[in-house]
Amino acid sequence: MPFSRRIQERRQERLAERRQAKLDARLAEEIERQKEEARREEARLEYEAMVAALEAAKARRDELLAKLRAQKLAERKAAERQTARQAGLLEMLRQASALADAIERQKEEQEKARREAALESARKERRKAEPAQQKAPAKERRPSEKAVPPREKAPRALEPAPLPEKSAARQPKQRQAIVDERRSAKRESAQGSALREARLERKKAEEQRAAAQAARLERLKELRPPAAPAEKPQEPSAPKPPSVTELEKAAEKRQAALQARLGELRQAEKERAAANERRLSSLNERLAALRKADENRRKAAERRTAALKARQEEAASAESERRRADEQRKAALQERLANLQAADRPNKLLRQPLPEAPARNPLLDPLAGGVLSGSLPWLRATGNRITTISGDPVLLRGVNLLGMDSAPPDPRRGFAAGAGITPQVIEAALSWGTRVIRLAINRGRVLEGAGGLPASAYLEDLDELIRLAAQGGAYTLLSLRRLDETSAFGSLPAPGGGSMPNRLAPQPGFEHFELWRILAGRYALEPAVLYDLYAAPHPPLPGDESGIESNWDLWTLWVQMSVADIRRVNPGALCFVCGLDWGADLSGFPVLGTAGRPIPNLVYAGRLFPRQPSPWPAMQALGRAHPLFITEWGGQRLDTSWGERTAQLLRAGGIGWAAAHWNAEPSLTRTVRERMYPSTFGALVQRALALEGETLAATLPAEPDTLPTLSVF
């Protein structure tokens, strides 16, 4: 019975679980359905808003078209009224002109008739006087010529001389002739006065006609429409009224102007209609663009969802790979620890000095590789080149990453996140063609941690950065930059003026060898890890109270002891040594060993910056037998010409380098709207990194003058 009860209970539990699963599935479906309904409702509202916007635009367009039609009709009616008014005015002008012409013709006919009557009466008087003049003899008529007006008198030279003798019998006849002459003169004077009166009357008639024409002109000016052009003023001495032809021409001109204005209005109406059509088409295009944008947003949301799922899957796979790598690393460490314990050689967390190097030399072992390095081969110094263990030359070129030495750590995500060094940053640096990433580190963080985080967290972040770089085919050059968190060693000039504290010691003290023993032991099986012993040794600065000195004797001794400690736990370590005076002085290289010969597997490094001392003269002689490397070189936007020449110089000499800096000033990148772009100098470095397939010579040219000289800097 108890057994059957347990079976029933289990069955009921399974049924309850199934019901709960169904309820959960239904709840999930209901939530998804509600989300889908919300999306549909949102899409419907957007569609209705767009339709309403289109309707409003259409209503505005119809209203605008109605206004345009009404305006066109009003303009047409106004034009018709103006045309009718002008026609009426023209008709009135024609009638007034015809009436004035009729009056003028009547006056002229009357004047002509009056003149003809006066002339006829004068002719009759002359005819009556002619018989009496013909009866008188020529001699008797000559004295009468004195009565002729002066203007009709003949010249004196032609007048006959008077007779000296006068007959008494002829005196009555002479008196009669004189009387006749006087009468004739009176008649002629009467005729002249009549002619003068006729001339005066004709002049008065002409003046009256001119006054009538001027009055008519004034009336025409008053009757003329305002839009008509002003007529040319007549001369006051002889006013000339416009003719009917001129008035008709003026009317035709005004009609042509009205037609032109009407054509302009029609053209403007056509343009407004075309503008309305374009506006409607733009609204339709905008609606189509909104629909397309909505579709693109939907597709983008789907892509983001798919990308999020893929990212989650990738993160899960990366986490599984990381766990698997951690397990392999732990297994390898446990195996090493077991071997050490079996051989009675204790090694407490790799911090105690190890005995002499094992018989096996990983530098010469082509199968050597660690869980972080992937397929990257071991590197070594061969002559004046860096090569793989099989002898293939390698040209290391890359960038500097700062922050792991100085940026405050994130309490939850660690040191790399606090420095802003994310997988995306490593991926972006690798996309430029980077073969080496020079990573600045802090001695105090390696030994003690910082910001409440232990040293193990710092080492785990270093492991992850090394693994990400190695996956992209790049080596990691660990560069000791700061000794602790707060120490200052004098001051440096600030970019904006004044001074700022210097956090780099003149050189590490002789008590800091434990750092390299820990790191060399941790990465003893990792060919992807290279070692830059110290970033920039230099003379003490003003205000430096640490008492640390830096000269060639102290620096050479420190390098010898550091390399010896590293090689005890990692015989295959490739070490980089920077020159004095911030990398500008390489005169004390190469570093000799106990046998008086140069220490093998060392790379000598310097720094290049515009307007600063250059190590190139010493590098010309040193590069004949030893490999060279530029740990930092860079500049601002105005230093691109210098940068181009420097890149060509390093390419011609086959010298590797790490540009300064990916995430610090002078920066190779800039961020705009959360997207990373190369700076002006960064674009130059990106082009230099993109050059692949370069052939490296076995040695540098033998003659120093065959290399570019210092003048290019």
Note whether 528 and 376 are within 8 A (CB).
Answer: yes
Note if the bond before 353 is cis, omega within 30 degrees: no
Note whether 593 and 599 are within 8 A (CB).
Answer: yes
Phi, psi of 493 (to 5 degrees): -65, 135
Note whether 216 and 240 are within 8 A (CB).
Answer: no
Note whether 362 and 572 are within 8 A (CB).
Answer: yes
Token digits of residue 195:
């002619």
Note whether 584 and 606 are within 8 A (CB).
Answer: yes
Helices (H), 367-454: 415-418, 423-431, 443-448
Q: Which CATH superfamily is domain 347-496+503-712 in?
A: Glycosidases (3.20.20.80)
Q: For residue range 111-126, list pLDDT tens digits in order.
A: 888 888 888 888 888 7
User: How does the average pLDDT of the chain come out, rounded?
Assistant: 79
Instruction: Transcribe 124-182 into DSSP letters.
Output: HHHHHHHHHHHHS-HHHHSGGGGGS-GGGPPPGGGSPPPPS---STTHHHHHHHHHHHH
Note whether 507 and 551 are within 8 A (CB).
Answer: no
Residue 440: which H helix or E strand, with range?
A: strand 436-442
Token digits of residue 622:
């040193």
Q: For residue range 377-434, list pLDDT tens digits in order.
A: 999 999 899 999 888 999 999 999 999 999 999 988 999 999 999 999 999 999 999 9
CA atoms within 13 A of residue 704's CA, in its CB half-sphere: 9
Note whether 610 and 587 are within 8 A (CB).
Answer: no
Phi, psi of 590 (to 5 degrees): -80, 165
- Residue 429 has a CB neighbour count (10 Å cut-off) of 26
Spatial separation of the C-alpha atoms in residues 552 and 550, rounded to whole Å: 7
Phi, psi of 242 (to 5 degrees): -70, 145
Residues 6+ apart with CB under 8 A from 599: 560, 563, 590, 591, 592, 593
Per-residue confidence (pLDDT) for residue 114, from 0 to 100: 85
Higher pLDDT, 438 or 18: 438
Token digits of residue 459:
């080492």
Note whether 485 and 538 are within 8 A (CB).
Answer: no
Per-residue confidence (pLDDT) for residue 469, from 0 to 100: 94
Q: For residue range 638-665, list pLDDT tens digits in order.
A: 888 999 999 998 988 889 999 988 988 8
Instruction: Transcribe 486-533 into DSSP letters.
Output: S---SEEE-TTSSEEE--S-SS--TT-HHHHHHHHHHTTT-TTEEEES
Q: How far is CA 702 from CA 39, 116, 601, 621, 698, in A?
A: 75, 136, 22, 9, 12
Per-residue confidence (pLDDT) for residue 172, from 0 to 100: 64
Share of the chain above pLDDT 70, in %: 80
Spatial separation of the C-alpha atoms in residues 643 and 689, rounded to whole Å: 13
Note whether 569 and 517 are within 8 A (CB).
Answer: yes
- Residue 370 has a CB neighbour count (10 Å cut-off) of 22
Residue 327: which H helix or E strand, with range?
A: helix 244-342
- Of the candidates 632, 685, 670, which has an alpha carbon nearest to the alpha carbon of residue 400? 632
Q: Is residue 630 pLDDT above 90, yes or no?
A: yes
Q: Is 670 left (phi over 0), alpha (psi -120 to 50) or beta?
A: beta
Per-residue confidence (pLDDT) for residue 230, from 0 to 100: 46
Select, from the ranges 42-46, 192-196, 560-564, the one with the highest average predicted confidence (pLDDT).
560-564
Token digits of residue 405:
């030495």
Instruction: State the Cα angle at 659 between 658 and 664, rounded to 5°.
Output: 120
Note whether 562 and 577 are within 8 A (CB).
Answer: no
User: Buried b / exposed e across 163-176, counting CB within 10 Å, b at 16+?
Assistant: eeeeeeeeeeebee
Note whether 179 and 144 are within 8 A (CB).
Answer: no
Amino acid identity, residue 275? Answer: A
Per-residue confidence (pLDDT) for residue 459, from 0 to 100: 92
Spatial separation of the C-alpha atoms in residues 500 and 519, rounded to whole Å: 31
- Of the candidates 357, 362, 321, which has an alpha carbon nearest to the alpha carbon of residue 470? 321
Note whether 357 and 598 are within 8 A (CB).
Answer: no
The whole-number average pLDDT for the span 368-375 is 72
Note whether 671 and 661 are within 8 A (CB).
Answer: no
Residues written for the chain: 713
- Residue 633 has a CB neighbour count (10 Å cut-off) of 22
Number of continuous H segments (helices) and E segments (strands) in the chain: 14, 14
Q: Residue 675's beta-bridge partner residues?
A: 672
Map residue 589 onto helix, strand or coil.
Answer: coil
Amino acid identity, residue 192? Answer: G
Residues 6+ apart with CB under 8 A from 395: 386, 435, 654, 656, 694, 696
Q: For residue range 213-266, list pLDDT tens digits in order.
A: 777 777 666 655 554 444 444 444 455 556 657 766 777 787 788 788 888 888
Confidence of residue 709 (pLDDT cuts 50, 70, 90): very low
Spatial separation of the C-alpha atoms in residues 58 and 344, rounded to whole Å: 94
Helix axes 423-431, 455-471, angle to 10 degrees: 30
pTM of the model: 0.50
The whole-number average pLDDT for the span 158-165 is 45
Q: Is residue 609 pLDDT above 60, yes or no?
A: yes
Confidence of residue 342 (pLDDT cuts 50, 70, 90): low
Q: Is residue 613 pLDDT above 50, yes or no?
A: yes
Token digits of residue 616:
């190139």
Token digits of residue 447:
């030994």
Q: Residue 480's beta-bridge partner residues?
A: 441
Q: Is residue 350 pLDDT above 80, yes or no?
A: no
Confidence of residue 692 (pLDDT cuts 50, 70, 90): low
The alpha carbon of residue 266 and the mean position of all alpha carbons in its chain are separated, in whole angstroms, by 41
Instruction: Transcribe 531-597 into DSSP letters.
Output: EES-S---PPPTT--S-----HHHHHHHHHHHHHHHHHH-TT--EEEE-HHHHTB-TTPSPB-TTSS
Spatial separation of the C-alpha atoms in residues 307 and 303, rounded to whole Å: 6
Note whether 689 and 398 are within 8 A (CB).
Answer: yes
